[in-house]
Homo-oligomer: A and B are copies of this chain.
Amino acid sequence: MLRVLIDMDEVIADTTGGMTRWYGKTFDGAIDFENMRKGGSLVKGFPEMHQPIVRQQLFEPGFFRNLPVMAGSRAVLEEMNRRYEIFVVSAATEFPNSLREKFDWMQEHFPFISWEQLVLCGSKKMMEGDYMIDDHSRHLKLFKGRSYLFTAPHNLNETEFERIRDWEHAASIFLK
């Protein structure tokens, strides 16, 4: 079976959605997706005075546990899991509170992905596979297989990698 390495944040977990929802409940400032795109970072889309607290939110208990599931990801990943060797690989060790939360989140939303298939890491450079789907080109650059950049507001300006726009698009590639 071909091996596919799939990222969590911005790929199967809607991190931008979770952050903007939290921000909207907490502050009045406007979120600027154009700045997110130009700055190449989720945090850059928020008013400058709030960027430190937005960044801090990534370290807070509960943030990752409560993220929405990315639209369409569950059904496509469930079918991909029958046809490919899937690993869900998340750069999580930067955010220690996220470790258990990401495990629990996977159990709740993707129960067909076993604990053997979950990888919580920092760097992904030692990961070997046939395909990698990730929203960060820094991970894709170090990957020797075929790389797909999963479209997220922060990476819209990048042109180096073939894109997957959303999970319908992923299905058209992997489940055709």
Quick one: CB contact mask for A90-125 with B, threshold 8 Å, 1 for yes? 001110110110011000000000111111111100
Q: Is the CB of A93 within 8 A of B115?
A: yes
Decide if A127 is an interface residue (CB 8 Å cutoff). yes
**CB < 8 Å neighbour of A128 from B100, B121, B122, B128:** B128
Decide if A129 is an interface residue (CB 8 Å cutoff). yes
A96: B residues at CB distance < 8 A? 100, 103-104, 115
Decide if A64 is an interface residue (CB 8 Å cutoff). no
Decide if A87 is an interface residue (CB 8 Å cutoff). yes
A92: B residues at CB distance < 8 A? 120
A115: B residues at CB distance < 8 A? 93-94, 96, 122
Q: With A and B bound together, what is the CA distance between A104 and B97 in angstroms?
A: 11
Whether A121 contacts B121 in the complex (CB less than 8 A), given A99-B103, A128-B128, comes out as yes
A123: B residues at CB distance < 8 A? 87, 116-117
A119: B residues at CB distance < 8 A? 93, 119-122, 126
Q: With A and B bound together, what is the CA distance between A96 and B97 in angstroms?
A: 13
Q: Which residue of B lies closest to A103 (CB)?
A: B96
Q: With A and B bound together, what is the CA distance between A122 and B96 in angstroms?
A: 18
What are 13 sample pairs from A and B whose C-beta atoms fall under 8 A apart? A3-B126, A93-B115, A94-B115, A96-B103, A97-B100, A99-B99, A99-B103, A100-B100, A114-B122, A116-B122, A117-B123, A119-B121, A119-B126
